[in-house]
Amino acid sequence: MSQAGGGGSVAGGDGTLALVENAGGPVATVTVNRPAALNALDAATLNALLGAFTGLAAEPGVRCVILTGGGDKAFVAGADIKSMAAMTPAEAGALAAISHRLGEVMAGMPAPAIAAVGGFALGGGCELALYCDFIYASRTAKFGLPEVGLGVIPGLGGTQRLPRRVGLARASELLFTGAVIDADEALRIGLVNAVFEPAALLPRVRAVADAIASRAPLAVAAAKRAAREGAELPLAAAIEHERALFSGLFGTADQREGMRAFVEKRPAAWSGR
Ligand code: CAA
């Protein structure tokens, strides 16, 4: 991908639909960029996101990714209803498969991803936010899975990831009613980690991303793996998985440096090895 020195096009998709900026630094921002359609996800936009995240996952210098929506109204207002309206089952399944691949790439990349939701995160938009490791919202954000009002169900992972994030009963309420909730309610049920004034959202998310990027890269990546992969395992297997990841960090340059820096009362200088 070309992203050195700031924004750029991405391999595997239309780079104008998913803008990648990192200015050569450790924090990258991906912006879903279809504001005229409230950033609705058609196949081209999903492919652009897949290209963007596949590229970022292969960039060792990228330590945290912020995902947000272009324009001031929406994170993403869902999968593109106009392009889905006449789809066959096979076509709908193929669209979902692109998105599932995106979710896998985001889960598997070493850098954590944070969703910065500043408006509508409905349907596929809520599902896309759930691909991120956690979500921050502006006071004006709205969340929901309104698909049952369109004759379908969430198809980009929402029926599975929302229950895992907020619990089966709260997720079922949202899934069966299609209700749209505001940011405070999303905070209350644990869908988002914090709510900020609109102008403060991106600076606050950026500060958290910078904090993550300042930590030992292999350790952050291992913590992400332990938490994500462990969540899918029985407790004993998850604890064993943690033990393997924990012990595997010993002997790395950053483990030696981090512990030596503590003893020597100085900041650590990470090498990512
Ligand atoms: N797909 C396609 N276009 C969309 C869209 C979507 N999901 N959401 C908004 N748009 C388009 C609108 O059609 C409109 O375009 P035109 O001007 O060309 O008509 C433009 O974006 C602006 O939208 P509105 O005029 O509707 O804006 P609003 O402020 O009045 O309403 C809204 C905002 C409440 C979010 C409303 O747009 C809305 O309800 N959008 C659909 C939300 C939704 O149902 N999402 C789930 C989609 S299904 C899904 O995601 C399935 C899945 O899991 C795979």
How many Å lie between the centroid of ligand 1 and the Cα of residue 154?
15
Question: Among the atoms of ligand 1, which is closest to the Cα of residue 154?
Answer: 53
Average pLDDT, the chain: 95
pLDDT of residue 190: 98
Active site residue 147: yes
Q: Please tell me what DSSP assigns to residue 133.
A: S
pLDDT of residue 13: 62
Whole-prediction pTM? 0.95
Residues in CB range of 154: below 8 A, 6 or more apart: 123, 124, 126, 127, 145, 147, 162, 175
Catalytic, out of 91, 104, 127, 185: 127
Active site residue 173: no
Average pLDDT over residues 243-260: 98
CA distance 143 to 165: 14
Catalytic, out of 147, 240, 242, 257: 147
Helix 124-131 and helix 89-108: axis angle, to 10°?
Answer: 30
Q: Which residue owns the Cα nearest ligand 1 atom 20?
A: 37
Max distance between CA atoms of the chain, in angstroms, equals 65
pLDDT of residue 14: 75
How many Å lie between the centroid of ligand 1 and the Cα of residue 39?
9
Q: How confident is the model at residue 15 (pLDDT cuts 50, 70, 90)?
A: confident
Q: How confident is the model at residue 223 (pLDDT cuts 50, 70, 90)?
A: very high
